[in-house]
């Protein structure tokens, strides 16, 4: 019988195995728990859990958690085109209102940590039932805000309530799908969630133009209430039976910030940094769009500005399922080429074209279009660049999320939350200077700096993890999953 600490990739450079994936693979450094156990008796217990739900029920579950993941992205996406109107209504500037974006990102960090940590102890469903009411209450509070401080407070509550949607949703995917199916399911989940960036800016701009930004917030609260009722009546608990802490004791206070200790793993920290570098390039385009592309091409209508966000959302819709499917195929192909050996970092290989080409080139394209180009040609350049950015960002983030679930399957929601929290914390700091930077040094130079950062840290850290992933896992083992329990 194959032992759980055998048949690992040897600790010499992974590059050797890229050249000859069928090379001797029986060496082990004996510390990491990533393995390639294929014994049917060992794999059977964990595999049986994936058969609890039928294929149709699994897709229904994915549909429900996609609604929970879509709503917070709709909350954030619908806010961007309304910034000028909110600033005018509250008698302040766009730069001041954009600080609420930073506040929201920080709230997402905290909400994701609490939600994911407690979903591991109490289950997925209770977290949804506790967090969604906060989103509903926060949305109503935002709609009734009469000052910038009250706007920030209610946005914090609103975003905190929606934050668990993505990390807990990723945990649910890990609960119900096998390793070889997970990338595709994750891609579909993120694709559905990313309807938010595709539609929210247009809907937000349209409602703001013909009604009010406050009506938009009331609408978000109503949607949150409907999704809360859907979860309460139709969503089953997906946690693996017996794996929750509540199955062993009735109540326990858990420190959600302890989850951040998972980032002492170089693998998790590196992909978190990479994801942040790629995502900030996205926000450099999204946050100031009304002041960059909108100002350059004299687009004054909030609905028209909202439509300018559609290309990046369409790119998200196409990129996410495509990236998930490709990452699954890569995992299967490399695993077969190595004679059944699972090297988790194989899933990240498909991210390199997104981080190294699509993201930096698209950000520079918008910088050129919004600075020097003119007429319909320049406007088309901006729209095409936004579309490519949407594809590029998801070519990175979707496989990255599946990879995080793969290597820490038993703590999938927590590892996703740690990743998202770290990313959100940095984003809350990095978003604030975007508009001031554009006002000071211009659109092109701001975008160029963002492109360089995404290339160096986004592409660079992913390349390091792919090439040296095994050594990094051996350096700090935070309880990595094996193929037998994945």
Q: How far apart are CA 1 and CA 360, in angstroms?
A: 48
Question: Which residues, other chains included, contact 23 with Cβ-Cβ below 8 Å and sequence gap of 6+?
Answer: 16, 17
Q: How far apart are CA 127 and CA 174, in angstroms?
A: 16
Taking residue 4's Cβ as centre, other Cβ atoms within 10 Å add up to 18
| pLDDT score recorded for residue 137 | 94
| pLDDT score recorded for residue 287 | 77
Q: Where are the domains of the chain?
A: 47-240+259-485
Backbone angles phi, psi at 163, to 5 degrees: -60, -40
For residue range 32-89, list pLDDT tens digits in order: 334 434 434 434 455 667 778 888 888 899 889 988 888 888 887 777 777 778 888 8
Q: How far apart are CA 158 and CA 154, in angstroms?
A: 6
For residue range 307-352, list pLDDT tens digits in order: 787 888 788 878 878 888 888 889 889 888 888 888 889 989 989 9
The three-class DSSP label of residue 79 is: coil
Q: Which of 58, 352, 279, 52 is nearest to 188 (CA)?
A: 58
47-240+259-485: CATH number: 1.20.1250.20
Chain centroid offset of residue 326 CA: 17
For residue range 249-305, list pLDDT tens digits in order: 666 677 777 778 888 999 999 999 999 999 888 888 887 887 888 888 888 776 777
Rounded to the nearest 10 degrees, the angle between the axes of helix 443-453 and helix 266-286 is 160
Q: How far apart are CA 265 and CA 256, in angstroms?
A: 18
What spatial distance separates the first Cα and last Cα of the chain, rounded to whole Å? 18
Q: Which of 440, 432, 445 is nearest to 364 (CA)?
A: 445
Q: How far apart are CA 455 and CA 289, in angstroms?
A: 22
Over its C-alpha atoms, the chain yields an Rg (Å, rounded) of: 22
Q: Is 201 exposed, middle or buried (0-12, 13-18, 19+ CB in 10 A)?
A: buried
For residue range 86-143, list pLDDT tens digits in order: 888 887 777 777 777 777 877 887 888 888 778 877 888 899 999 999 999 999 998 8
Backbone angles phi, psi at 251, to 5 degrees: -150, 145
pLDDT at 360 > cutoff 90: yes
Q: How far apart are CA 226 and CA 244, in angstroms?
A: 27
Name the CA dihedral angle for 288, 293, 297, 299, rounded to a multiple of 10 degrees. -50
Higher pLDDT: 431 or 265? It is 265
| pLDDT score recorded for residue 482 | 66
């Amino acid at each position: 019988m194959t032992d759980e600490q055998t048949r690992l990739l040897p600790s010499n450079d992974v590059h050797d195995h890229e050249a000859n994936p069928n090379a001797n693979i029986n060496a082990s450094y004996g510390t990491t728990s990533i393995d390639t156990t294929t014994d049917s008796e060992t794999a059977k217990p964990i595999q049986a859990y994936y058969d609890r739900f039928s294929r149709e029920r699994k897709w229904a579950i994915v549909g429900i958690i996609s609604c929970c993941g879509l709503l917070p992205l709709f909350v954030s996406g619908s806010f961007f085109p309304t910034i000028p109107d909110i600033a005018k209504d509250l008698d302040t500037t766009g730069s001041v209102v954009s600080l609420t974006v930073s506040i929201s990102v920080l709230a997402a960090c905290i909400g994701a940590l609490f939600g994911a940590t407690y979903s591991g102890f109490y289950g997925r469903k209770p977290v949804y039932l506790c967090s969604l009411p906060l989103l509903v209450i926060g949305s109503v509070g935002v709609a009734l805000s009469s000052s910038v401080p009250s706007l920030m407070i209610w946005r914090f509550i609103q975003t905190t309530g929606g934050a668990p949607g993505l990390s807990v949703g990723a945990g649910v995917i890990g609960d119900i799908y096998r390793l070889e199916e997970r990338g595709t399911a994750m891609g579909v989940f993120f694709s559905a969630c990313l309807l938010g960036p595709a539609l929210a800016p247009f809907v937000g701009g349209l409602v703001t133009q013909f009604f009010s930004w406050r009506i938009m917030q009331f609408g978000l609260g109503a949607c949150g209430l409907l999704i809360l009722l859907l979860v309460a009546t139709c969503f089953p608990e997906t946690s693996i039976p017996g794996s929750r802490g509540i199955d062993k004791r009735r109540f326990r206070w858990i420190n959600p910030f302890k989850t951040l200790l998972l980032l002492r793993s170089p693998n998790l920290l590196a992909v978190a940094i990479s994801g942040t570098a790629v995502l900030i390039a996205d926000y450099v385009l999204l946050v100031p769009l009304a002041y960059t592309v909108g100002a350059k091409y004299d687009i004054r209508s909030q609905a028209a500005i909202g439509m300018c966000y559609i290309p990046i959302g369409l790119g998200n819709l196409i990129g996410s399922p495509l990236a998930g499917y490709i990452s699954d195929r890569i995992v299967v192909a490399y695993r077969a080429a190595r004679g059944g050996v699972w090297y988790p970092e194989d899933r990240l290989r498909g991210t390199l074209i997104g981080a190294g080409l699509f993201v930096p080139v698209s950000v520079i394209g918008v910088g050129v279009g919004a600075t020097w180009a003119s007429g319909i040609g320049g406007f088309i350049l901006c729209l095409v660049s936004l579309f490519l950015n949407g594809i590029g960002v998801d070519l990175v983030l979707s496989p990255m999320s599946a990879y995080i679930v793969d290597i820490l399957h038993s703590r999938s929601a927590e590892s996703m939350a740690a990743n998202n929290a770290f990313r959100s914390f940095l984003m809350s700091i990095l978003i604030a200077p975007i508009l001031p930077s554009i006002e000071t040094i211009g659109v092109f130079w701001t975008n160029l700096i963002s492109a360089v950062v995404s290339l160096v840290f986004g592409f660079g850290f992913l390349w390091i993890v792919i090439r040296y992933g095994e050594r990094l896992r051996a350096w700090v083992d935070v309880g990595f999953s094996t193929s037998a329990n994945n």
